[in-house]
Every structure is written in structure tokens, then in C-alpha cells.
């Protein structure tokens, strides 16, 4: 059997920077052992009872004809007779994967499988990876619309901007099932949750802080919109792209208006003082830094962090590597540091959001996932962390606290009902019991398959 190369550190002293760097590389090393060992991360498992071969006459021909005819008479009965109400498609063209760039559909498939795995384990949501051999926006839209009858929701993933915004807008307008872009709305919801917890810990208010944002891609564009919707004054946000700080009179705004509508709108709303220059200018005196840019430590300089306000909050969300190492940000004076990685404290990652957000949307057959539903999810996560006890290394819940997912799902479902986008109305207690049952069953099923050996023991 292959052996792990995990570094061993002594418990009697804190790890060195070199050991921390090695730790940061370890998940990738282990992935190259375990991915080929399991040959993928998901499979199809029956959900119906099979008492004997005679049952196949019920689940397939001739018995299956009856539910088919029932659905033909009333298309809404598809939700009753099939798994459509718990099934989503994870759709990608592989044009912007994780921070790896345009690596294509085949290379994107491991990410989509991982997404489907997390959907199932933490949300009890059945998810199917669908990688498309086209990067044309119209073909992507057309394909997703063709797929609509099979699914209860669509999760767009790792699609390059600016086309991802146009695809999302069109599909949200033209589909009658939830469609969202997890790199955008998902990251935005969890970033807001982390910020709520961090601000509560340092004693600052969301509507008072100054926020510097590095990167104007899908994640930060959506995050800026969610922050504004949640109460941050637009003028208190300063965004930065590769050309420098974004402001309404910047020389390239006419070209941006034609090509990147969402970016242009943010330029018109944010940076009330019209500051220019590099990102360090935006960080000077800022309370919060949110970076979703290039996955390369050193992109954010220590001196920029040192120039921030007291009790500063730094979220460096690029994957697989953050824009500054957490220990360097702390050395520079940051009070709270979060990254997108699970092996550092304060993981600000959309994995805390999408399983439960879709669970809640599916449980009330929502027609969409709105910004209000995302804010409800963020508030639920922030409340959960506060109840557990906020600390500088715990301003947002962890993935292994599975109890958060049913609560988050209920918050989303109730907001869908409140805002009139739910097809089905259910009371809060029923929703919580249902979400807990489904999610706990999914976790227990995986553990049972491991105990019985149907999922082989990993070699490391």
C-alpha cells in the first residue's frame, strides 16, 4: 500500500513556517493517491426497497407505466413519483476551475464530483456532474434548458466571467427551478456569514466598516452585491482589478460598460471618494480585506495588512493557495484571518452553504434562490457560530458540525416561503425534522458503507 507523506511535528512546540507550508501541500499529495484508488468519488445507490426480483415489475415495466401516465396527465406529479425533487445538476464548461484556469471539461470533472459528494453528504441532495464540451454561452444555456425536466435545480460551477453572469441571469429568468452560480452566490453567502461572525467578535457594525476587495471576478462581484443587500453602504467598498482600484471615472469605464455590465455597475456605486492606485491604497485604514484573486501567496503584502485599521479582518479566499499565508497576515497585525482552505482556521468556503441552501430550496420546491435566501443562510451560520462561542480562530462554523446544515436549510426554506418563491408551504418544525432526517441518513449511509467494506478502506 502507498504510504502518506504527512509531515510529523512535535507536539511540544508550535510548527515552523516550513512545516506549515508542507502541511498546506499535503492535501494535493494525498489526492494523487486516493483519487485513482477510488476511481471517482460518487456512485448511484438505490433508494427503493428490492424485496425480490418481482419488485422490478413495480419499479420498471409493466408497473412503471402507471406513474408515467399519471405525470402525463399532470406534470406537477413528477415531483411525487420521481427523485426530481431531490436531484440537481452540477454544470460546468471547465473554463475557470478553482484558480487553475481554463482546463476544460474532463479536467474539471474531479471538482464537479467533489461538489456532488458534498451535496450528498452534508445536504442529502443527489447531484450529478454534467461537464459540457462547449464554452459558448448560448449553447450552455440551451443545454441546461434541455436538461430542466430531469432536475429540481441547477448548480453552475467554474464558468469564466463575464459570461457566467449572463448565463446565470438568463437561466434564472427562463427556468422555473432554482439556478445559481456557486462560485458567485455561494461564495458570497459564506463570505457574508464569516464577516458577520468576525465583526461580532471585534465589535464592529456591518454598516460602518470600510471594505477593500481584491479581484472583480464572479466571487467578489456577487459578494459585493450581497454585502450591499445586507446593509453595507456601497461607497464603503473599494474594489481592485489588475489595472488598480475601481472607480467611476477610471479611463477604461466605457469599454467595461460594453463588456462587463456587473463590473461597471459596481464601479458606479463603490469607492465614494474615487480613490485610485494599487490595492495597498484601498487597504490603508480599511477594516476588512476580502480577496478572491490569484492563488499565490505574496499577492497581498504584509505592509498593506499593517496599514489597515485596528482589529482588522483579512479573508484571502483564493484556492488552492491564499494570497497571503495566514501566519504572515497575523504577523502584520490582522486580528482575524480566514482562508478558503479546510486545513487552516476560519475556512470561508462555499461548502458551508450550497448543500443546505439547495436542501432548503428543494424542500419547498422553490422557483429560484434569491439574494434574500442567501442572506438568511449567512445569518443562520453566523448565529450558529455565535451560539458555539466566537473566537479569533472560530468566526464561522466548521464543516464537521453537521447540525448547522439542517438549521441553514430551514432558514432558506422559510425565506423562500416568506418571499413567495416557494411552490410548497411547510411549517418550520416540519422542515427542520425533514432536513435533519435526510441529512443524518446520508451521513449514516456513508458510514455504514464504510463499516461494511462496500467503500474500501483508504490506503493512507
pLDDT attached to residue 299: 95
Contact 165, 188 (CB under 8 A): no
What is the C-alpha to C-alpha distance for residues 89 and 66, in angstroms, rounded to an integer?
27
In this structure, what are the phi and psi dihedrals at residue 336, rounded to the nearest 5 degrees?
Answer: -125, 130
Q: Is 115 an annotated catalytic residue?
A: yes
Q: Is 394 an annotated catalytic residue?
A: no
In this structure, what are the phi and psi dihedrals at residue 43, rounded to the nearest 5 degrees?
Answer: -150, 170
Does residue 4 register a pLDDT over 60?
A: no
What is the C-alpha to C-alpha distance for residues 316 and 192, in angstroms, rounded to an integer?
14
Structural domains in the chain plus CATH codes: 58-184 (3.40.50.10380)
pLDDT attached to residue 294: 87
Q: What tens digit of pLDDT does each residue of 16-36 get?
A: 767 777 877 888 899 999 999
**C-alpha angle 361-158-229 in degrees, rounded to nearest 5:** 50
pLDDT attached to residue 6: 52
Q: What tens digit of pLDDT does each residue of 363-378 get?
A: 999 999 999 999 999 9
Marked catalytic residue, from 29, 60, 142, 259: 60
In this structure, what are the phi and psi dihedrals at residue 296, rounded to the nearest 5 degrees?
Answer: -155, 110
What is the C-alpha to C-alpha distance for residues 196 and 390, in angstroms, rounded to an integer?
11
In this structure, what are the phi and psi dihedrals at residue 239, rounded to the nearest 5 degrees?
Answer: -110, 155
The Cα-based distances of 286 to 68, 230, 310, 311, 355 in angstroms read: 59, 19, 9, 10, 33
The Cα-based distances of 411 to 213, 224, 406, 408, 416 in angstroms read: 28, 22, 9, 5, 9
Q: Categorize the per-residue pLDDT at 334 as very low, low, confident or very high, splitting at 50, 70 and 90.
A: very high
Average pLDDT, whole number, for the chain? Answer: 94
For 307-318, what is the mean pLDDT?
Answer: 97
Q: What tens digit of pLDDT does each residue of 66-118 get?
A: 999 999 999 999 999 999 999 999 999 999 997 788 999 999 999 999 999 99
Q: Tell me the helices (H) and strands (E) count for the chain, helix number first.
A: 18, 10
For 412-432, what is the mean pLDDT?
Answer: 97
Cβ-proximal residues to 39 (8 Å cutoff; 6+ apart), any chain:
none
For 120-139, what is the mean pLDDT?
Answer: 98
pLDDT attached to residue 14: 64
Q: Which three cell numbers, joined as nine digits, stand for 394?
A: 472560530
Q: Return the H-helix or E-strand segment holding 179.
A: strand 179-181
Give the Cβ contact number of residue 21 at 10 Å.
14
Amino acid at each position: 500500500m502507498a504510504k502518506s507523506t504527512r509531515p510529523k511535528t512535535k507536539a511540544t512546540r508550535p510548527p515552523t513556517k516550513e512545516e506549515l507550508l508542507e502541511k498546506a501541500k499535503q492535501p494535493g499529495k494525498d489526492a494523487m493517491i486516493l483519487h485513482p484508488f477510488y476511481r471517482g468519488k460518487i456512485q448511484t445507490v438505490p433508494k427503493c426497497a428490492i424485496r425480490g426480483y418481482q419488485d422490478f415489475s413495480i419499479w420498471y415495466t409493466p408497473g412503471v407505466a402507471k406513474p408515467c401516465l399519471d405525470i402525463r396527465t399532470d406534470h406537477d406529479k413528477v415531483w411525487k413519483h420521481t427523485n426530481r425533487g431531490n436531484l440537481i445538476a452540477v454544470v460546468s464548461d471547465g473554463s475557470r476551475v478553482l484558480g487553475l484556469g481554463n482546463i476544460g471539461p474532463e479536467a474539471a470533472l474531479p471538482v464537479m464530483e467533489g461538489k456532488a459528494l458534498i451535496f450528498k453528504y452534508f445536504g442529502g441532495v443527489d447531484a450529478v456532474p454534467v461537464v459540457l464540451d462547449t464554452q459558448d454561452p448560448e449553447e450552455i444555456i440551451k443545454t441546461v434548458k434541455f436538461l430542466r425536466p430531469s432536475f429540481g435545480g441547477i448548480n453552475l460551477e467554474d464558468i469564466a466571467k463575464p459570461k457566467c453572469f449572463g448565463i446565470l441571469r438568463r437561466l434564472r429568468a427562463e427556468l422555473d427551478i432554482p439556478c445559481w452560480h456557486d462560485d458567485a452566490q455561494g461564495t458570497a453567502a459564506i463570505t457574508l456569514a464569516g464577516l458577520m461572525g468576525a465583526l461580532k467578535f471585534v465589535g464592529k457594525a456591518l454598516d460602518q466598516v470600510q471594505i477593500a476587495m481584491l479581484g472583480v471576478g464572479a466571487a467578489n462581484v456577487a459578494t459585493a452585491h450581497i454585502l450591499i443587500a445586507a446593509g453595507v453602504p456601497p461607497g464603503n467598498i473599494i474594489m481592485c482589478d489588475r489595472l488598480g482600484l475601481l472607480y467611476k471615472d477610471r479611463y477604461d469605464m466605457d469599454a467595461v460598460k460594453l463588456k462587463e455590465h456587473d463590473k461597471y455597475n459596481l464601479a458606479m456605486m463603490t469607492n465614494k471618494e474615487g480613490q485610485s492606485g494599487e490595492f495597498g491604497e484601498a487597504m490603508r485604514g480599511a477594516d476588512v480585506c476580502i480577496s478572491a484573486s490569484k492563488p499565490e501567496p505574496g499577492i497581498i503584502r504584509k505592509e498593506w495588512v499593517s496599514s489597515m485599521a485596528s482589529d482588522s479582518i483579512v479573508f484571502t479566499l483564493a484556492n488552492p493557495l491564499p494570497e497571503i499565508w495566514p501566519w504572515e497576515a497575523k504577523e502584520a497585525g490582522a486580528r482575524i484571518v480566514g482562508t478558503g482552505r479546510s486545513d487552516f482556521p476560519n475556512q470561508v468556503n462555499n461548502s458551508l452553504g450550497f448543500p443546505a441552501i439547495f436542501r432548503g430550496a428543494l424542500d419547498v420546491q422553490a422557483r429560484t434562490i434569491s439574494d434574500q435566501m442567501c442572506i438568511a443562510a449567512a445569518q443562520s451560520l453566523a448565529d450558529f457560530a455565535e451560539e458555539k462561542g466566537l473566537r479569533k480562530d472560530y468566526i464561522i462554523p466548521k464543516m464537521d458540525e453537521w447540525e448547522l446544515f439542517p438549521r441553514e436549510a430551514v432558514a432558506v426554506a422559510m425565506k423562500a416561503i416568506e418571499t413567495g418563491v416557494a411552490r410548497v408551504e411547510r411549517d418550520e418544525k416540519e422542515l427542520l425534522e425533514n432536513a435533519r432526517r435526510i441529512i443524518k441518513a446520508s451521513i449514516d449511509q456513508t458510514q455504514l458503507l464504510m463499516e461494511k467494506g462496500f467503500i474500501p478502506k483508504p490506503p493512507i
